[in-house]
Amino acid sequence: MFKKSPAYIPPAWDYNPSAWEQRIPLAILASIGFLIAVYMGLYQMGVFSTVWDPFFGDGTKQVLTSSIAKDFPIPDAMLGALGYVMDVVSGLIGKTHRWRTMPWMVIVFGIAVGPLGAVSILLVILQPVVVGAWCTLCLTSALISVIMISPAMDELLASLQYLQRVKRSGNPVWKAFWGNKTIINQVD
Amino acid sequence: MWAAITNIIIGLFVMIAPAVFHFNKTIANHYHIVGPIVVTFAIVSLWEVNHSARYFNVPAGLWLLIAPFLFHFQPATATWMAVICGLLIIVLSFAKRKIKGQYGGGWRSLFQKHPAHMQ
């Protein structure tokens, strides 16, 4: 199923960070995060009248109906779900050497995973500090976001190193950013 | 690896300590803010490519070390618990492990004159 292509391994790397075995697990994790977020979002929209929380009693309810949650134009869990959709889509688009054929997509993926993880942690902190309650599913979602950060960052690093080589070779970085084929053939 | 895992456990402990030991809200806030940050950077640093992320936990640990004296934590339990956790977090954040992969020279390569991925 997974075709091994040693040529796709970036210079001075031991593996290809854009290989499917690197990207599929992240898409699966993000999909789980998406389902959790949608479930909480549907509760916030009033589709469900109760919400599941095995550890903190009505903690989830308090967090999801807090003033912070209501500060957003749409339920904040739905915004999280949207973030996970971005993770899945930007994680799956592109071939197995997209670190050089589609640097822009890798960077979009990095932006989707990095800041989403940061927002998750911010929300974890706000739960006890502002709302005064914990929420099991929110914590689970945050954990998923944090676990995704490093495995996504390696691909970002490979793309940035490629753009660094492009710059040093005197080629236009902007064109390489969008996957210019002539540059791909010239630069490793 | 073991250092990062230990820091994850300490971070989790810092998160739940206020509830277990009934610290008042003002003191609990310090624990509730630093705990998740420590857990996050410890998890991120589990992967070789982001091993350096562990240094972000040094200021987090430092905060636990000095906050009890800046904000006069009461009872004493809240003080020594923060100090011990802070110290442990800092020490463990400096623990190095053997990096097997090359990663083209890692993040620092982006700022180097002769990065590993160009040699």
Greater pLDDT, A86 or A72: A86
Distance from CA of B49 to the nearest CA of A (A): 6
Q: List the one residue out of A182, A4, A3, A8 whose CA is nearest residue A99.
A: A8
Residues spanned by the domain of B82 = 2-118
Contact A121 B37 (CB under 8 A): yes
Can you spell out the DSSP letters for A35-100?
A: HHHHHHHHHHTTSSSS---SSSTTHHHHHHTSHHHHTSSS-HHHHHHHHHHHHHHHHHSS-TTHHH
Check pLDDT > 50 for residue B95. yes
For residue A38, what are its two tokens?
Answer: 């949608």
Contact A117 B36 (CB under 8 A): no
Tens digit of each residue's pLDDT (9 = 90 or more) over B41-92: 999 999 999 999 999 999 999 999 999 999 999 889 999 999 999 999 999 9
DSSP labels for B40-109? Answer: HHHHHTTSGGGGGGGGGHHHHHHHHHHHHHHTT-SSHHHHHHHHHHHHHHHHHHH--------GGG-GGG
Segment B86-115 mean pLDDT: 95
Residue A146 gets which letter from DSSP?
A: H
Confidence of residue A149 (pLDDT cuts 50, 70, 90): very high
More confident residue, B90 or A7: B90
- Confidence band, pLDDT 50/70/90 cuts, at residue A1: very low
CB contact under 8 Å between A14 and B101, yes or no, is yes
Q: Measure the CA–CA gap between A150 and A56, rounded to whole angstroms.
A: 29
For residue B35, give the chain A residue with the closest CA.
Answer: A125
Looking at 3.50.50.60, 2.40.240.10, 3.90.1150.110, 1.20.1440.130, the CATH number of the domain A17-96+105-151 comes to 1.20.1440.130
B2 close to A (CB below 8 A): no
Closest CA to A15 of A94, A128, A99: A99
What's the mean pLDDT in A109-116?
A: 91
Say yes or no to pLDDT of A6 above 60.
no
* Domain residue extents for chain A: 17-96+105-151
Lowest mean pLDDT segment, chosen from A70-74, A105-109, A160-164, B15-19: A70-74
Structure tokens at A185: 């053939």
The whole-angstrom distance between A35's CA and the closest CA on chain B is 22
Cβ of B101 and A161 within 8 Å? Answer: no
pLDDT reading at A2 higher than 70: no
Is the pLDDT reported for residue A82 higher than 50?
Answer: yes
Question: With contact defined as beta carbons under 8 Å apart, do A120 and A142 qualify?
Answer: yes
Residue in chain A closest to B100 (alpha carbons) equals A14
Cα→Cα distances B110→A109, A156, A161, B16, B24, Å: 19, 12, 6, 39, 46
* Any A CB within 8 A of B47 CB: yes
Nearest to A150 among B50, B116, B119 (CB): B50
Instruction: Tell me the chain A residues in contact with residue B119 when contact means C-beta distances shorter than 8 Å.
Output: 12
Q: How much is the ipTM here? A: 0.92
User: What is the number of structural domains in chain B?
Assistant: 1
Q: Which pLDDT band holds residue A74 (cuts at 50, 70, 90)?
A: confident
Could you give the CA distance from residue B31 to residue B63 in angstroms, rounded to a whole number? 10
% of chain A residues with pLDDT over 70: 97
End-to-end CA distance of chain A: 26
Q: Mind telling me how many Å the CA of B91 is from chain A's nearest CA?
A: 22
Residue indicated by tokens 């599929």 = A24
B12 touches chain A (CB under 8 A): no
Asked whether residue A3 carries a pLDDT value surpassing 70, the answer given is no
The kind and range of the H/E element at B3 are helix B2-21
Using a 10 angstrom Cβ sphere, with 0-12 exposed, 13-18 middle and 19 or more buried, the burial of residue B11 is buried
Mean pLDDT for chain A? 92
Kindly report the pTM of this predicted structure: 0.93
- Long-range pairs of B81-87 with CB within 8 A, sequence gap ≥ 24: B81/B17, B81/B21, B82/B30, B82/B31, B85/B10, B85/B13, B85/B14, B85/B61, B86/B61, B86/B62, B87/B61
Check residue B103 and give its pLDDT. 96
Output the CA–CA distances (angstroms, integers) from residue A151 to A29, A143, A158, B43, in the order listed: 11, 14, 12, 11
Q: What is the pLDDT of residues A163-173, one digit of tens each?
A: 999 999 999 99
pLDDT at A115: 84
